[in-house]
Chains A and B, each alone.
Chain A
Amino acid sequence: MSRPEHLAPPEIVEMSERAIELLLLPDDSPCLVLDVGCGSGLSGSVLEDQGHFWVGMDISTAMLDIAVEREVEGDLMLSDMGQGCPFRAGAFDGAISISALQWLCNADKTSHKPVQRLYKFFSTLYACLSRSARAVLQFYPENSDQMELITTQSMKAGFYGGVVVDYPNSTKAKKFFLVLMTGGNVPLPRALGTDEDSHGVTYTAKRERMKQQRGKSLKKGRNWILEKKERRRKQGKEVRPDSKYTGRKRSGRF
């Protein structure tokens, strides 16, 4: 799996586009979106391109200063997601977060308790979203325990939803998106790179099994060929003489 430190900006843009796609914002109407862990505003620029206005929060002053230099349109705020999202109820039409959530699982200070910080984040995020709004959070879980910790706390805060894994069979392209919904349990969107219709693997397994049961084809052995030549000779037909090469496979060079 690719780690955040190896990421080039194009990949962030790609992930932001996918996150916005999963957000299912209403078509053709500009929305107010919260970007959690906005960093230098790369994901925000994607939101701008799609005509939305955004408010970003990040814990790093250095990254926010870069965002100011880049003259992003969104508004920025220095804030720790583990301390909650300090917004009025129903303020946002949606929320995205790119590669930020996994930081909440770390206890960088002795006072940090990951479970409490995750719950505080998710419960305040739930409160500041409008009705039937979604939050899509791309993250890098270190292991399955982390993933469970995160999903449990988000469900406890009142969200419906779960993790959508794009390209689950690829180590490099594999991406985890936590898709959280506020209004009722709707089926999760299909992940990219999964093809549920094909049963290719099970089919070949069955064929292999049947083949082994039947054994080697009768008509392929040396004995069967010698017998057949003998029958033809008896019928008076022209048949090549038997030799040590009869019934052998051709060499690979042929």
Chain B
Amino acid sequence: MKLLTHNMLTSKCMKGVSVGYPLGINASDVRVSEVDFNPDFIARMIPKLDWAVLYNAAESIGQLEDLPKDLANNYENDQEFLKKVHHVLLEVDIINGELVCPETGRKFPINNGIPNMLLNEDEV
């Protein structure tokens, strides 16, 4: 699972959870693979992202490198900055671990890079 997906993912579909965001990450296996750099896509995604959540997520799995804590002003033209965001968003892959719901503490396992968000019948 990439951090872009983590930035969008919630556990609000569970019964009794109102926000369910952000999900905590306990990663046991993180892999970095190369993905084609598309500056347009990254620049389009940045306004949609919750920057603080992305920063904390990258920090919690030790892939922060030198990502700034606050968003730069005119990031559209800053290729270096876009490359760093690209790396964190798309190249870092959590292969095994678990996601933790912030409200109920329910754990969602990640196997083979795929988070299991299936809910039991009594949780719907």
Binding site for B on A (CB under 8 A): 29-32, 51, 53, 55, 57, 59, 61, 64-65, 68, 73, 75-80, 83-88, 90-92, 109, 111, 120, 124, 128, 130
Contact = CB atoms under 8 A, between A and B. Distances in A.
Contacts of A130: 48
B41 A30 contact: yes
Contacts of A59: 118
Q: What 7 pairs across the A-B complex have the smallest Cβ distances?
A: A84-B13, A30-B41, A91-B8, A79-B117, A75-B5, A78-B116, A86-B13
Interface of B: 1-2, 4-5, 7-13, 20-21, 35, 38, 40-41, 44-45, 48, 50, 90, 112-119, 121, 124
B86 to A, nearest CB: 11
Contacts, number: 81
A83 B122 CA distance: 12
Contacts of A79: 117-118
A77 B114 contact: yes
A119 B7 CA distance: 25
A120 B117 CA distance: 15
A64 B114 contact: yes
A80 B124 CA distance: 11
A65 B21 CA distance: 27
A29 B114 contact: no
A87 B8 contact: yes
A83 B13 contact: yes
A55 B8 contact: yes
B40 A29 contact: yes
Given A68-B114, A77-B117, A91-B48, 4 more contacts: A79-B118, A87-B9, A87-B10, A120-B13
B118 A73 contact: no
